[in-house]
Structure formats: structure tokens, C-alpha cells
Chain A
């Protein structure tokens, strides 16, 4: 069976020459929950964009057996779905229904299938009652859940999430943790919140200055206080 993600020697520099990703090598099996940890500006978000084919650098990125190139991009987008950091960027349609139906409609599903997908996704994130609401009428926690529903409705094998816990209060963060933990998909989560990463991930990859510094068991990496402090991070309270 093909791996969820295989990255070989991937490098990318911004147009001004600043190196964002430097010789990244990463391999991830299906069904795993991977935390991409690192300080601000480490390259976590750029790495997520590279996995979805939004960043074109040198090297090789393979998603579920398909190498990222123009020909495969549509198939890849149906298998790997990205959830952006700001839910206001993710939720661009006038209502929640339209937003969640957007992906399935683009995949060419029938109206009945689309409605069923929307209903299932809303039920999973607990927003069934909000189906006709406009995104600006939702709270921060609801917006985050809705943003996840927009990718769940596409039934992808892999979901990437950029700082999913950002600006959430503890209750909403716990709800989000429960939701993400219950998902069967391969999850790749970029976060600066070590408690969030420790609660969810079984594997961690520490990224700093565009390079992979450490890769392995989440608890093992995050309990190394010297490593964490060196890279502007902290040992999560649940591990300490």
C-alpha cells in the first residue's frame, strides 16, 4: 500500500531568495496523526502547502502514491484536503451548506450524494442546526468546526490542518481535540501549541529554519526539554 506522504529532498525558497524549506525528507503511513511542531516562521505552513501542491520547489512530493504534478493535481486534491489557519479564509461561501457542498460538487458528485455528504460532515462536527447560517454568524469555535466540515465532506484520506487550535478557548479546544481524535483519516497538524500536539499526535516532526530537526515518537520528542528549548518550544504540561 502506498504511503500517505513521501517527500524526498524537497527545497523551496521565497521569491526574495529566503530559504523556506531545505532538503525535507519525510515519509508518513496512512492512519497516523502527525504533529508538525516548530517556532513561528519555521516553515510548517509552507511544508503543508507543499504537500497539497501549492508550493513548487525542487525535489519530490508523493501523496497516496501520486507524485505532485499538473496531471495528478485534481486526483491529489480529492485525497488530501487542506484546512487553512484562518477559518474566515476557509469559509468563503454565503452559507455553511454552500461551503460544505463546494468540494463535493467540484468532485462531480450527484446532488443527492452532495446533500448526504453535507449532512454527515455537519453531524460529525456537531453543527447540524447551523446548516443555513452565514459564516459571520458563527462563533470562533463553530467556525473552526465548520472549516473542518468543509474538508470532511470531501471524504479525503489525508487532512492537513494549519494551527487548528488558534484563538480557541479551552472548552472549544477540547471539543476540537475530541473531534480530531475521532477522525479515521491521516492527520497532519502544524501547531505551536505543544499541549495540543501532545494530546493528539502519535508522531512529531520538529521543524526549524526550514529543516527537519527531529522526527519520531511524539512524547519522546516533546519530553526532550533541551531540544524543545533550543528551538523556542516548551515541554507540554501533560508530559512534564
Chain B
């Protein structure tokens, strides 16, 4: 079985894919901080911010439909938060974008800002994850100072989440194959608990086998990896272009901040 949704496009080849993971990560981090720190009244400026991540997605040949689908997938929580804003803040306000202006309430403005910030930051994150292999991202994070133990944990999580999903799927299939009628809530709950228990025991079993596999290859408790990351001229050019773009955005938003 293949589970490719998380890193579906990360193995493609494009100039963005070839950029160093550390450079991409830092750019996305700084960009996200800039978006998050935008005042709630600068909703219209968000449109300019969106240019960056979407340009990256297009340049990397990541289908925008995929990006929007991913954004929608994680949007329910933010949607509830954003749509509750107009209910408790009805102060009148005006939004202007060039020659156009709209009258609405501060609650709606906050709602649009939350949704806009969410969309822009998520698209930046999707651009990062879709153009960077997870292991390169981990190697980059390690080089940037993330504790090694956390990098190892994330590496194992990424490696075995697919195995776990497969196993859970097989257990559910086995259950479905023998489920001829509903047994009632209590009995179903008991069966679900047994299935979870089986998954847990098998996970422990796998962990023991991995431990053997590691020791069999001379593992002595010290984690050693070989980093193949290398910053090239293209990375410097990208970092410079991103810095100029973000400086431009800052100049755009500066009057609002004052």
C-alpha cells in the first residue's frame, strides 16, 4: 500500500526543490512571523503577501488545487475561530484597497484577517513541505540546532507512521470482513479497544525488532548521520530575493504599523 499524501510532490525536481532545506526553512519561518505580526486592520495587504508562497508553488510545479485541498483539510478549527469573530465585535469599519473600499464591522475584518493569515502561512508551509524531502528538512533542522533526540524522534515518526497506518488498515479490513451485524455500542467499543491493543502490542514488537536491527549494525547509543546538505550560489540568490521581497512587504505595511 502506498501513502504518499504527506510528501507527494517532495520528490519532484525543480529549482525550488533543489534549494537547501535550511534556506527554505528560514525564509518560511521569517515570512510566517511577518504574516502573523500583521495588524488586524491590514487585511488588504495580505493579498501582496500571498504572492510569495503562491509564486513558489507555481515555480515548483506544485498544483494549486493540491495546495488548496491541503489548506481546506486543516481549516475547520480556524474556520470556527474566524466565523465567531463577527458575532462579538460589531464596531463599524472600512476596508480600502486602492480605489476600492468596503464598509463592514471590525468582527468581519478580524475574521478575514484570520482566514487570510491562515491561508498565506499555510501556503508557505505547503510550499516548504512539498518542495523539501522530509529527511532533508530534518537534516536541515539538525544543522540549525534542533536537538538531535527530537530529530531522531521525528525521523522515526515519519518512517513508521506509514507502517502503522497500513497495520491499522489491515486490522480494520479483517474486522469488516467478519462484521455481519452490529453488536451494539458496548460490544463494538470492546472490539475497538482490542484492536487498539493489538496495534499497540505490535508496535512494541516492531520497536524491539528495530532495536535489534540497530544493534546488529554496531549501534552503541550514539546517533551518527552523514549530512549531505550544501549551500550553493542558487541558495544565496534565493535568500537575497526572499529578503528583498520581505523588505518590500515591510515597507508596504510600515505606514499601517505607525
Contacts and interface: CB of A to CB of B under 8 A. Distances in A.
Interface string B29-54: 00000000000000000000000000
Contacts of A132: 11, 133
Interface string A192-232: 00000000000000000000000000000000000000000
Interface in A52-78: 52, 54, 74, 77-78
A134 B161 CA distance: 12
A165 B150 CA distance: 35
B213 interface: yes
Contacts of A13: none
Nearest to A107: B218
A125 interface: no
B163 A88 contact: yes
A81 B217 contact: yes
Interface of A: 49, 52, 54, 74, 77-78, 81-82, 84, 86, 88-95, 97-98, 101-103, 105-107, 111, 114-115, 132-137, 150-151, 154
Given A54-B212, A98-B225, A134-B159, 12 more contacts: A74-B220, A77-B217, A84-B212, A86-B209, A91-B159, A95-B133, A95-B135, A98-B135, A106-B224, A114-B226, A134-B134, A136-B162
Interface in B184-218: 206, 209-210, 212-218
B156 interface: yes
Interface residues of B, number: 33
B2 A137 contact: yes
B213 A94 contact: no
Given A132-B133, A134-B159, A115 B226 contact: yes
Contacts of A107: 218
Contact of A154 (B156, B218, B226): B218
Given A77-B218, A94-B134, A106-B219, A111 B213 contact: no
Listed residue (B7, B11, B225) with the most chain A CB atoms within 10 angstroms of its CB: B225
B158 interface: yes
Contacts of B135: 93-95, 98, 134
Mostly, the A contact residues are helix
Contacts of A135: 159
A193 to B, nearest CB: 21
A237 B230 CA distance: 54
Closest 7 CB pairs of A and B: A103-B217, A94-B135, A89-B209, A106-B218, A105-B224, A136-B162, A82-B216
A94 B218 contact: no
Contacts of B214: 92, 102
Interface of B: 2-4, 7, 11, 133-135, 138, 155-156, 158-160, 162-163, 206, 209-210, 212-220, 222, 224-226, 228
Nearest to B217: A103
Listed residue (B156, B218, B226) with the most chain A CB atoms within 10 angstroms of its CB: B218
A115 B226 CA distance: 9
Nearest to A89: B209
Given A81-B216, A107-B218, A137-B2, A89 B226 contact: no
Contacts of A111: 226
A89 B158 contact: no
Contacts of B11: 132-133, 137
Contacts of A54: 212, 215-216
Given A94-B134, A107-B218, A111-B226, A84 B209 contact: yes
A82 B212 contact: yes
Contacts of B3: 136
A84 B213 contact: yes
A134 B213 contact: no
A92 B213 contact: yes
B218 A103 contact: yes
Nearest to A102: B217
B7 A89 contact: no
5 contacts: A102-B219, A106-B219, A132-B133, A134-B133, A136-B159
